[in-house]
Structure 1
Amino acid sequence: MPDEVPTLHAVPVAGGFTFLEGPRWHGGELFASDFYSERVLAFRTTGSPTAHHLARTVCTVPGRPSGLGFTPDGSLLVVSMLGRRLMRWNGRTLETVSRFSDLIDGVANDMIVTDSGWAFIGNFGNTDAAPHSLHETALVRVSPDGTADLQGGGLNFPNGMVLTTDRRQLLVAETFAGRVSALSVDWDAAGVPTLGGRRTWAQFGDAPAYLDADRARRELPVLPDGLAIDRHDRVWISSSTGHGARLLAPDGTLLAFVDTGELSAYAVALGGDDHRTLYLCCSPPLGTVDPARTTASVLYAADISALR
């Protein structure tokens, strides 16, 4: 990081997980998926936002949970990665909202849910076992009644997503392209979102002319993974091979960095009182361990009130 960019240091607040992802702040708790234990967890602080957090199991999701979101009535939506379906937890039971294995052939992944209850779901564009089979893919759009289709094609491993405050742009992390893309969003009178044209919002390193996850991991300086956006349209970007998260202004200017030490931040979320805390789901850097065989994933938190 440049010397003139403020660097904050995150602290661990809960640990012992397989691979934390998809954090979302809701109702005074941080919700996150733990991939290989197949659990959705909720974390609540025991004191300040950077004090130890207690975790409870919300539900168990077959096929590995990933992206999370909440419907207008407060029900939890969760992506089953291997099941390639969207599920709903209403506090008592887990039910399938939509199956979309006919639309994608890769593993389902992160998700954003709009205020009107529509979901956009990313996917690997390959399978877990075949990192060299990467190919361009699209987002799955799921309506509140479970109807699914594809939107925004030509994406390279679409991952974390955020909507700008005017709801006119969907920012998507394309992990193995080393970029964040902006897709235009059109809304009809009923609150139905449709994705339009795409532009590069941020590019880290030279745009690769290849589709190769392993090569991208070796050659690109940042592999954008999870995103979080604040009320000023500043975007926090985590990197699966980095050691923290970057804060970028709407014009792409680097504003700050939150350091997570030896671990990489795979996903980020704003939470706590007035969103003064940045939560980071951290694990060893991509490719260094088998997360299915470890419990090295840690939830970190950083006080970012000085950056507001």
Structure 2
Amino acid sequence: MQTSSGTKTRLLTTGLAFGESPRWHDGRLWLCNWGTGEIIAIDAHGKTEIMVTIPATLPYSIDWLPDGRLLVVSGREGLLLRQEADGRLVTVADLRGLSKSPWNEIVVDGRGNAYVNGGGPTPTVGQPFGPGTIVLITPDGAIRQVADNIAFANGMAVTSDNRTLILAESNANRLTAFDIAGDGALSNRRVWAELDGYPDGICLDAEGAVWYADVPNKHCVRVREGGEVLQTVAVDRGCFACMLGGADRQTLFIAAAEWRGFEHMVSDIRTGQVLSVDAPAPGVGWP
């Protein structure tokens, strides 16, 4: 079954640079406003509040530990930061020795294991990213690589039973799944879905489907394992990320902006928006 791409969206807020890493937290949509160093929260009426400002422009991403403390990946700086109760940001992990390319996305599972992905150590000439990698930072602070050779690592999600991690491989046009062991290690790498597009941010729903955002195709797509397309939501600009939230977690929030290439990501032009649309099933898992 495929639902028409004519699904009507609602405009929640405008004037962002690039909204990325959206998360539903404490009754609001939080996201990273790339290019500004801001982490903002947006309420149901579109009112925005700057929650944290970090010394980074892009990429950076966020998630929360089970105890409620905020984690921030400062991508180009190669640091995983944690916000303390007094608002200070402290370094939890230094990832600079594991990749010379920027780190990108984070997801924290229900046990407090943080997975961070990004480009690999040796980008080819003219390319911003090398083969991608995923590292695991456990609650005791140990750091180790758990996956490699990824074709542009992007969005990640963990199922609610903490047993499966799903990853968007943008340059391979696929979603890839891993089994998660008791110690957080990843194994049994497999194709979860081959896609006709370029998956960026992703989220999971209660019917076992994945929503993925697609920048060049300017839409978000809901797919089941195996690749069957269930629904497509088209917009007028690139879709960078999506997240299920709202009171019942059954609203799909879409972070979208005009895409003009990596070299133009930091500018004074503010084409970023957050749109919303009713979803057929509520969000589950992490983030």
Q: TM-score, normalised by structure 1?
A: 0.84
SS in 2 for 1:176: helix
Name the structure where helix makes up a greater proportion of residues: 1
- Contact kept in structure 2, 1:242 and 1:285, CA below 8 Å: no
Write out per-residue CA displacement over residues 171-194 of structure 1, whole angstroms, 9 at most, x where no aligned residue: 10011111111112111xxxx311
Which of 146, 154, 159 pairs up with 1:159? 154
Deviations 1:89-120 (A, max 9, x none): 23521111111100111101111001111111
Question: 1:76 is aligned with what amino acid?
Answer: L
Deviation of the 1:229 alpha carbon: 0.2
Between 24-33 and 134-143, report the one with greater CA deviation.
Answer: 134-143
Q: Match for residue 217 of structure 2?
A: 242
Q: Which residue of 1 aligns with 2:264?
A: 290
In structure 2, the partner of 1:303 is 278
- Distance across 1 between alignment mates of 2:16 and 2:124: 22
TM-aligned CA deviation for residue 57 of structure 1:
0.8
1:168 aligns with 2:191: no
Shift of 1:131: 5.0
**What secondary structure does 1:37 align onto?**
coil
Q: 1:104-253, aligned counterparts within 5 Å?
A: 104-125=99-120, 131-132=126-127, 134-187=129-182, 192-204=183-195, 221-253=196-228
Q: Distance in 2 between matches of 1:66 and 1:234?
A: 26
Name the aligned partner's letter for residue 87 of structure 1: L
Contact between 1:97 and 1:145, CA under 8 Å: does it hold in 2?
no
Q: Which runs of 5+ in 1 are unaligned?
A: 47-52, 205-220
Partner amino acid, structure 2, of 1:246: V
Report how far residue 295 of structure 1 moved.
1.2
Q: Please tell me whether the aligned partners of residues 109 and 162 of structure 2 are also in contact (alpha carbons under 8 angstroms).
A: no
Contact 2:155 2:168 in 1 (8 A): yes
More moved, 82-91 vs 238-247: 82-91
> 1: CA distance between counterparts of 2:90 and 2:184?
24
Report the Cα offset of residue 165 of structure 1. 3.5
- The aligned residue for residue 87 of structure 1 is 81
| Distance (whole Å) between structure 2 residues aligned to residue 154 and residue 54 of structure 1 | 41
Give the Cα separation in 2 of the matches to 1:10 and 1:252: 24
Which amino acid letter does the alignment assign opposite residue 99 of structure 1? D
**Counterparts of 2:88 and 2:30 in 1: how far apart (Å)?**
17
Q: Tell me which amino acid in the other structure corresponds to 2:272.
A: S
Q: Distance in 1 between matches of 2:281 and 2:80?
A: 38
Aligned-pair distance for 1:125? 3.4
Alignment RMSD, CA only? 2.4
Counterpart of 2:50, as a letter, is: T
Tell me if structure 1 keeps the 8 A contact 2:21–2:62: yes
Contact 1:264 1:282 in 2 (8 A): yes
The CA distance in 2 between the partners of 1:128 and 1:111, in whole Å, is 21
Distance change >3 Å, CA 109–CA 127, structure 1 → 2 = farther
The equivalent of 2:48 in structure 1 is: 55
The correspondence of residues 27-66 of structure 1 with structure 2, limited to 5 A, is 27-46=26-45, 53-64=46-57, 66=60
Contact 1:24 1:30 in 2 (8 A): yes
1:211 is aligned to: none
Consecutive unaligned residues of structure 2, counting only runs of 5 or more, are none
Q: Report how many residues are paired.
A: 279
Identity of aligned residues (%): 27
Say which SS state the counterpart of residue 47 (structure 2) adopts. strand
